[in-house]
Chains A and B, each alone.
Chain A
Amino acid sequence: MSVRVRVPTPLRKFTNGADEVNAQGLNVRALVDDLETKFPGIKERICDETGKVRRFVNVYVNGDDIRFLQNLETSLKEGDNISIVPAIAGG
């Protein structure tokens, strides 16, 4: 069971520059843990110390914000597209 994850620019230093990676997980929580195993350090950028998704980061499953689904418990299926979208400051 594999899903595709789009990696935003600020997190690419963890993925050796890759803008898209494959990862596994039955739900978003398991997916984030799998990303952490593959790319140590990335989880801390997505989730805060209590384990919740950071408030300036959004995670989308096939274009739907997980905040309006089941958050980290949102279940995933083969071929799903995950986008991680952080706020960007520059101007």
Chain B
Amino acid sequence: MTTRLSQDEIERYSRQIMIPDFGGKSQIRLSESKALVIGAGGLGSPAAFYLAAAGVGLLGLIDGDRVELSNLQRQILHTTQDIGREKVASAKEKLAGLNPEIAIKIYPTRLQPENAPEIFAAYDFIVDGSDNFDTKFLVNDTAVSLGKAFSHAGIVRLHGQTMTVVPRKSACYRCVFQEPPGPGELMNCQQAGILGAVAGVIGAIQATEAIKYLSGMDEELLTDRVLTYDAKTMNFRTIEIRKNPACAACGEKAERRSHELR
């Protein structure tokens, strides 16, 4: 396929095309790529905004919730007028307004083990902006079994953490955290709170990783590392992680199992 950028596209994306590491080639690769954002919430809002603005070819968005007043402090895709609307419909309107050159596909449903493999199969990179452990582990296990690269993130109060997973090459989420906590064992945003700008920082990092991967600037991703951000002390730290050979998702046994299934 030979994609050409239009004059409008060249102007729209000129400030990133002029980056030596990026250039027209990366812009074309990005415009031929497909990214899926899970959740149109605190992480998904900034991530989807930047992916749309940067010109990813197809942007998928999945969320089964409707906009609530208490979302607006951080979920910047939605406005006060959107309260009560489906989040994905509200999001699509803003993103299409920002960049009419891209295709946007919305899924007004919750990601489940039943629909995840089929939805993931249509995308090249997945941004996990979900707000619960069940979905985060589902994203990991589905992406690993399909060989799809993704960005994981979690946020609480003034703290965020994120990592990028390239299946078979790098450690996966389950290599680091083996299984979800039981109910009530840890806090989520609803119980513990979150500063909107903290979600913005982490969501923007997720978008950056997606853009790097999809445009071919993928030599140095946030793989085999967990980045933690503490906004209270304004410290970013990375902790090196390793593939766990006994990992239930990407370890030797799991690899054999998924090979047999193929």
Q: A91 and B129: CB pair below 8 A?
A: yes
Contact residues in A for B241 (Cβ distance below 8 Å): 65
Count, chain B residues at interface, CB 8 A: 46
Q: A88 and B226: CB pair below 8 A?
A: no
Q: B178 and A88: CB pair below 8 A?
A: no
Q: B226 and A85: CB pair below 8 A?
A: yes
Contact residues in A for B261 (Cβ distance below 8 Å): none
Q: B156 and A55: CB pair below 8 A?
A: no
In the assembled complex, the CB of A21 is this many whole angstroms from the nearest CB of chain B, namely: 14
Q: B153 and A56: CB pair below 8 A?
A: no
Alpha-carbon distance between A2 and B14 when the two chains are bound, in angstroms = 54
Query: Taking CB as reference atom, which chain B residue is nearest A67?
Result: B244
Contact residues in A for B129 (Cβ distance below 8 Å): 91
Q: B186 and A89: CB pair below 8 A?
A: yes
Binding site for A on B (CB under 8 A): 39, 41-44, 128-133, 136, 153-161, 176-181, 185-189, 192, 194, 199, 226, 228, 230, 232-233, 237, 239-242, 244
Q: Does A51 contact B (CB under 8 A)?
A: no
Q: A19-B233, A89-B136, A90-B192 are in contact. Are A9 and B178 (CB under 8 A)?
A: no
Q: Mark A48-68, 1 if CB is under 8 A from B, else 0.
A: 000000111110100111011
Query: Taking CB as reference atom, which chain B residue is nearest A91?
Result: B131
Q: How many A-B residue pairs have CB under 8 A?
A: 94
Q: B177 and A56: CB pair below 8 A?
A: yes
Q: A88 and B160: CB pair below 8 A?
A: yes
Which one of A58, A63, A65, A87 has the greatest number of beta carbons of chain B within 10 Å? A87
Q: A19 and B189: CB pair below 8 A?
A: no
Among the listed B43, B230, B239, which residue makes an inter-chain contact with A63, where contact means beta carbons less than 8 Å apart?
Answer: B239
Complex interface residues of chain A between 1 and 30 (CB less than 8 A to chain B): 8-10, 19
Alpha-carbon distance between A75 and B187 when the two chains are bound, in angstroms = 31
7 A-B contact pairs sorted by A residue (CB < 8 Å): A54-B181, A55-B179, A83-B237, A85-B239, A89-B156, A91-B43, A91-B128
